[in-house]
Amino acid sequence: MKDESQRISVLPSGSDLRLPWHLRLPGPLERDFAEFFRNSVATVAPWAALNVILLLALALALECYISPEVAARTWRPRLLCAMLAVATILVARRSEWRRWLHTVSLALAFAVALTGDWMGVAVNHPLGFSLFLQTPLAILLMSVLLRVPFYGAVAGSVALIAALAASLRASPHIGLELSLVLLLLSLASASMSLFGQYIYERLLRQHFLSENVLFQHRDELHSANRVLESQATVDGLTGCLNRRGMEARLDELLHGFGRGGAGERASVLLFDIDFFKQYNDTYGHQAGDECLKTVASIPRALTQGDKDFVARYGGEEFMVVLANTSLKDALVFAERMRTRIEQLGLPHSGSRVSQVVTISVGVVCAGERAADATTLIKCADEALYQAKGAGRNRVAYMSDQGRVATL
């Protein structure tokens, strides 16, 4: 039951994915989102800016056609706007300048609206009021095309509408009614484009948040799996591989034979502590556990190869597998291990062979006539049995001919 709840807790929960109404993401996610947002806007911003340049050119052409005097006043402000549009294209395309994208986009929208206001006040022509329409167009440009972030677009829209109101008041050619119509149009444009911008940014943030949370949980899931995997193959008391881990590693090693993996040899050493039952009876089960841990630390310290390993085969029985090791070398290892454990000097008054803890070892080598894991373990067990029978605290081995001898 406990395991099940732990497993479920690594999956995303609803609260991880809930985006607040004000759109702000928690902590560093907000910074990451800003970059993600800028990069997504950068792909459309150059086309939006190009669109602005074309419209500015068309407006100027129309002004030249209707009234060359008006065009003589408006070409400079229109050129300024076109230059800012070019700057927007450049900033969007260069990744090292991209952090300025929203600032330049805002500057372009302000330039379009404010030059419109200025021209509307300066130009005296029956169609001059249309110049004030650049404000609602600039608001649309800022939110819908250049995708300035929502709060920037709100502030920008308020400032542009205030500037329009001031310009209309200052204009000697525009009456109150027309002023109200123009203001209403700008307000309508602002409310619709800001609403659209809010929805768009919300969807984008939600998508970003979901992906991030899922990635995060996937990583958590992977590390939890790694922990579970190691728990399933490692013995909790000694830190050696458990029997399941041992079987997997030994199979892997033996399957590598003939594929140039770990060479064509491997030696298997099976050992157990002499008179361990008496040790438990004398010193208690807990001291027995400590003794197992200390004894296991010796072969773990002695094994060096990547493919060598030590496993707790069961109870007080351990297995050492030495990859690419001949019988001769395995016997040297076994003898060294036996001596080191004896030299630990762990008192064992219940033992009938020594005053300290000792081990008996059975060794077998999988050579050219490579055996399967079961046969190898059976042979090592037979050798261990002989070591016990020959008086314990010694190493016995099975030769290539299948004969058992003690050292």
Ligand X SMILES: Nc1nc2c(ncn2[C@@H]2O[C@H](COP(=O)(O)OP(=O)(O)OP(=O)(O)O)[C@@H](O)[C@H]2O)c(=O)[nH]1
Residues annotated as part of the active site: 316
Angstrom distance (rounded) from CA 100 to CA 266: 64
Distance of alpha carbon 254 from alpha carbon 264, whole angstroms: 9
Task: Provide, rounded to whole angstroms, the least separation between the CB of residue 332 and ligand X.
Answer: 24
Concatenated DSSP letters for 91-134? HHH-GGGGGGHHHHHHHHHHHHHHHHHHHHHH--STTGGGGGGH
**Choice between 7 and 352, CB closer to ligand X:** 352
Q: How far is the CB of 22 from ligand X (least distance, A)?
A: 58
Q: Report d(CA 213, CA 13) in Å as an integer.
A: 9
Paired tokens of 84:
């800012």
Give the count of beta carbons closer than 10 Å to the beta carbon of residue 31.
10
Q: Which CB, 272 or 381, lies closer to ligand X?
A: 272
Strand, helix or coil for residue 326: coil
**Shortest separation between residue 356's beta carbon and ligand X, angstroms:** 14
Of the pair 318, 397, the CB lying nearest ligand X is at 318
In angstroms, the Cα distances linking 45 to 22, 40, 54, 190, 197 are 25, 9, 14, 20, 15
Nearer to ligand X by C-beta: 157 or 358?
358
**Residue type for 130, please?**
S
Report the nearest approach of ligand X to the CB of residue 404 (Å).
Answer: 17
Q: State the virtual CA torsion across 107, 110, 115, 117 in degrees, nearest 10.
A: -170
Q: To the nearest whole angstrom, how small is the minimum distance from the Cβ of residue 351 to ligand X?
A: 8
Supply the DSSP string of 374-392, one letter for each residue: HHHHHHHHHHHHHHHHTTS
Tokens 């297995």: give the residue.
Answer: 319
Based on CB atoms, which residue is closest to ligand X, 33 or 276?
276
Q: What is the largest CA-CA distance in the chain?
A: 120
Neighbours of 342 (CB within 10 A): 15
Binding site for ligand X (CB under 6 A): 272-277, 280, 285, 288-289, 292, 315-316, 388, 392
Angle between the N-to-C axes of helices 101-122 and 68-93, in degrees from 0 to 180, rounded to the nearest 10:
170
CB of 250 to ligand X, least distance (A): 21
Please give the order of strands across the beta sheet that includes 395-398: 309-314, 317-323, 266-273, 359-366, 395-398, 404-406
Q: How far is the CB of 337 from ligand X (least distance, A)?
A: 16
Q: Which is nearer to ligand X, 156 or 362 (CB)?
A: 362
User: Dihedral of CA 160/163/165/167: which sign?
Assistant: negative
In the bound state, the residue with its beta carbon closest to ligand X is 288
Question: Is the CB of 69 or the CB of 289 nearer to ligand X?
Answer: 289
